[in-house]
Structure 1
Amino acid sequence: MDSTIVTDQIVPLAGAGTDLRRTPVSREGHFGWLDVRALDEALLPAVVQAALHHRIDGLVADDPRVFDGLPPTIRRILLVDAPAVDDFPYEDADLVVVADRADARSPHIGHTPDRGVHVVVSDAASLQEACEVVREVPWTLLTFTDPTKIPLEIVIAAAENSGGRTVTTVTDVEDAEIVKLVLEHGSDGLLLAPRSADDVARLANIVEHQPEHMELSVLVVDKIEHIGMGDRACIDTCSLLEKDEGCLIGSFSTGMFLSCSETHPLPYMPTRPFRWNAGAVHSYVLGPENRTRYVSELQAGFPILAVRSDGSVREVRIGRVKIEKRPLLSITATAPNGKTVNVITQDDWHVRLLGPGGSVNNVTELSAGDELLGYVPSEARHVGLPITEFCDER
């Protein structure tokens, strides 16, 4: 009798003895595993310490002795081809992963809390196998023999609402960055065979949960000045932006304004829903990891934060930065903490800033007392990084 999929639960094989039934688990966030099976013994202690320091989720080994002395803060994953008939210390592992889906129910594994299956996808038949397994067991470890990510997309789609977790083998840290984003939410976990302790830190940085919300503040306009010609930039992204989505930009580290994307109708040109008419080239723009860059430093491929008026955040990539000479407008406002903030934009009606509730404000129609949205960090900046020190910006 085959297993029968019922919504997001699995009815186990009749008489199989081991119940693999599960309830849905949260897919929020990603995690990293380290494959230490082929790691040089001299390097193993440094990698393990790095894994503990950077809060890596799990270590994958084929010898339970590797788990000796590990604290319960890290998951111990035992990867075996098939369950051993003789006594084997499976109880030293938190998760046992086998190569055959039938072995996931083997009584020889004992009472290990979790079980999974490793599927090597190399053709249509093994891809079908992966799509079935991912809906049957709590954990599916995936290894793809071809560089295309299309098979992974298919397996991720098959896993939707199944309650299981997918972990994908990656070739290096760069591959991990790509796998994390396949079909937007990517594989739940990434398995990397580290070459050094530095690889552990880089993997941890990739899977670390990035903030998806930030607190925006109301900035009250004090003064608007026409200041003549200068260089301003349009930032074109590789994403389509929402009508209340902007980038955070400003002249000072004490505060940045929420600029509006060109998603709203213009009388003489089509909308460009991938663009911000950002501001003067000296301006700070907020990117991931709370780091700023000058507009003049931005290049194709760089990450930048897109922020909506409700404070929700996502990372987008820059496709092009276009710098041109234009008349400029200086807008000065007061933040809730009393500090003065400034932004310099192109002096034209079609350039807009966002206000409370997602209101769209043409910069040439602003007046003292108007309210705009912005971000007011508590730290100053040094080479784009937040630092607690005295800093007077004017």
Structure 2
Amino acid sequence: MKELWLEIDSSVPETQKTKLLKSAAKTCDAVLVDPEDVEKAKKAGIKTASTSEEADTVVLSALDPEKLKTLKAKGKTVAVKIVITGKKDEETAIEAAELNSDYVIVGTPDWKIIPLENLIAKTRGKTKLLAEVSSTKEAKIALETLELGSDGVVLKTADLEELKQTAEFAKKGSLSLKLVAVEVTSVKEIGTGARSCIDTCELMKPGEGMLLGCQSSGLFLVQAEVHESPYVETRPFRVNAGPLSLYALTSPTRTRYLSELKAGEEVLVVDREGNVRLTNVARSKIEWRPMLLIEADCGGKTLKLIAQNAETIRVVTPKGSKAVTDLKKGDKIMARVEEGGRHFGTLVK
């Protein structure tokens, strides 16, 4: 699990500081604060990091091997903070890891990725490497560099929305959605429509795809094109998503129309257990195709999905997947069902 720390500058107004601590207590693993704010942070119910020895993690602003050794002997958790401006600083960070510092916090002012790659490769397993960032965009780079990414990030911001967005990304591995098996009640052919294939920057596996539907409150798990077929090659990066007016779940809290999805924008990849990961759209491939209307029941509520009428489009079932052309009344397929409607994609109950 990736760690997320929030660094709160002492100059932040007290009212905003209180709001940040309250939010951090729900979303972060620790807060990095000045000594005078350690007690306030502890009262908010979150682990603290500071240059003060009263903090849960003692932060050294420069590598001091003797002080590090002394603190460790006292049973303290220690982090060493290092700004990477050249090769010598990289070597210092590696030395801190080899001296058993629990954390090494690195800042790269001009945000060069190569130093971070070097440190990830050379400190893996010796310490927890945290990268200092100031935005969600920088956090994404740090957490995905060399595929493994850093062990976490220290976000310096006073912006609650920035914190929320970063937490959503940093903790994505722990995100899950509740899916249920709904019962197919009707499948019928309808007319031709503009169908979108969403090509992503990911490679999906059987049981994975996107949550899509005619209603934002009832989204079906449509599988990526991973099933072997005598008609076409597999395309594990693609979900044949359906008409442009369908809703797609693009974050745990938001839907968008397929018509809105463009290259570079984020969508969710979901599996039948509800595990979630983020990816980006590479392209939306739009063509005119014949369609099917699929209706299903969930506790007396009717849910609807329109999909291309072709055997290569499959929906995820509790134990596998099934082509939409083979669906029959009584079949069980996986969906996300929630109460309420949405206003511009945001849930309103």
TM-score tier after normalising by the smaller chain length:
0.7 to 0.9
* Contact preservation (8 Å) 1:257, 1:375: yes
Partner of 1:50: 19
Amino acid corresponding to residue 237 of structure 2 in structure 1: F
TM-score by length of 1: 0.77
* Contact preservation (8 Å) 1:131, 1:158: yes
* Contact preservation (8 Å) 1:134, 1:155: no
Which runs of structure 2 are paired with 1:42-191 in the superposition (5 Å)?
Answer: 43-55=12-24, 57-61=30-34, 64-67=35-38, 69-72=40-43, 73-79=45-51, 90-94=52-56, 95-105=58-68, 107=70, 113-135=76-98, 136-162=100-126, 164-184=127-147, 186-191=149-154
Residues 90-119 of structure 1: CA deviation (Å, up to 9, x unaligned):
444441314124143365999583322222
Aligned length: 339
Match of 2:307 among 320, 334, 345: 345
Partner of 2:325: 364
* Contact preservation (8 Å) 2:31, 2:41: no
1:387 aligns with 2:331: no
Deviation at 1:74, TM superposition (A): 4.2
1:32 aligns with 2:21: no
Amino acid corresponding to residue 60 of structure 2 in structure 1: V
Distance in 1, matches of 2:328 and 2:91, equals: 62
TM-score by length of 2: 0.86
Deviation at 1:271, TM superposition (A): 1.6
Stretches of structure 1 that go unaligned for 5 or more consecutive residues are 1-27, 80-89, 389-394
Partner of 2:248: 285
SS in 2 for 1:356: coil
Distance in 1, matches of 2:234 and 2:294, equals: 24
* Contact preservation (8 Å) 2:63, 2:92: no
1:294 aligns with 2:257: yes
Distance in 2, matches of 1:216 and 1:192, equals: 32
1:215 aligns with 2:215: no
Deviation at 1:362, TM superposition (A): 1.5
Partner of 2:165: 205
* Contact preservation (8 Å) 2:208, 2:269: yes
Deviation at 1:227, TM superposition (A): 0.8
Which of structures 1 and 2 has the bigger CA Rg? 1
Higher mean displacement: 229-238 or 366-375: 366-375
Deviation at 1:299, TM superposition (A): 1.4
Distance in 2, matches of 1:109 and 1:221, equals: 61
Deviation at 1:297, TM superposition (A): 1.4
Match of 2:266 among 285, 294, 303: 303
Amino acid corresponding to residue 310 of structure 1 in structure 2: E
1:378 aligns with 2:339: yes
Distance in 2, matches of 1:241 and 1:166, equals: 29
Distance in 2, matches of 1:204 and 1:292, equals: 17
